[in-house]
């Protein structure tokens, strides 16, 4: 199974609520460039991928840039826990690969757990993706980081 953690792109600071914050112009451009890179990496193999997103506007707008069907899952909201992210993704047992569009600090906590197998934290830049996959080696299932990239990589 593969899981891509995608932090929403840059958003406005002010809105009527945190969930109502929209992407800035820069954020929309970054979401589009990251989405283009992801589509290229997936080689149009979208049938094996499930996309799930936080209900926050900024995450919804980031997900929409992929131009793929996606599910809105309330448990991915800004106050999500690492467990809620991994449960929503059905990690590591899903028959589908998953792209999760969410928020800090939770995505950084999930990334740390996937990299180290223990609770921790890493910073995830706005608009960045962290791509992990499982593999079997010597009879053990391991998680490896396949890629990490930021939208500035495509500027």
The pLDDT-based confidence of 22 (bands split at 50, 70, 90) is: very high
Q: Which residue has the higher pLDDT, 44 or 75?
A: 75
Among 129, 131, 117, 111, smallest CA distance to 2 is for 131
Supply the Cα-derived Rg of the chain in whole angstroms: 15
Helix (H) or strand (E) holding 135: strand 129-137
85-106 per-position pLDDT tens digit? 999 999 999 999 999 999 999 9
Using the predicted structure, report yes or no on whether residue 52 has a pLDDT greater than 80. Answer: yes
CB 124 within 8 A of CB 130: yes
Residues in the chain: 155
Question: Is residue 116 a contact partner of residue 132, using CB atoms and an 8 Å limit?
Answer: no
2-154 fold? Rossmann fold (3.40.50)
CA–CA gap between residue 112 and residue 74 (Å, rounded): 22
**Residue given tokens 């792109």 in the structure block:** 9
Sequence ranges of the domains in the chain = 2-154
Whether the predicted pLDDT of 155 surpasses 80 = no
Distance CA 95, CA 126 (A): 28
């Amino acid at each position: 199974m593969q899981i891509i953690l995608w932090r929403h792109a840059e958003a406005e600071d002010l809105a009527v609520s945190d969930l109502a914050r929209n992407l800035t112009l820069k954020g929309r451009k970054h979401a589009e460039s990251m989405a283009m890179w992801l589509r290229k990496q997936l080689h149009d193999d979208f049938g094996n991928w499930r996309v799930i997103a936080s209900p926050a506007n900024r995450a919804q707008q980031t997900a929409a840039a992929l131009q793929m069907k996606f599910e809105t899952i309330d448990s991915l909201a800004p106050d999500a826990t690492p467990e809620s992210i991994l449960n929503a993704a059905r990690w590591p047992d899903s028959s589908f690969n998953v792209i999760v569009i969410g928020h800090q600090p939770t995505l950084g906590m999930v990334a740390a757990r996937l990299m180290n197998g223990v609770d921790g934290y890493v910073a995830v830049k706005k608009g960045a993706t962290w791509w992990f996959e499982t593999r079997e080696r010597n009879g053990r299932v391991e998680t490896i980081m396949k890629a990490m990239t930021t939208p500035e990589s495509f500027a």
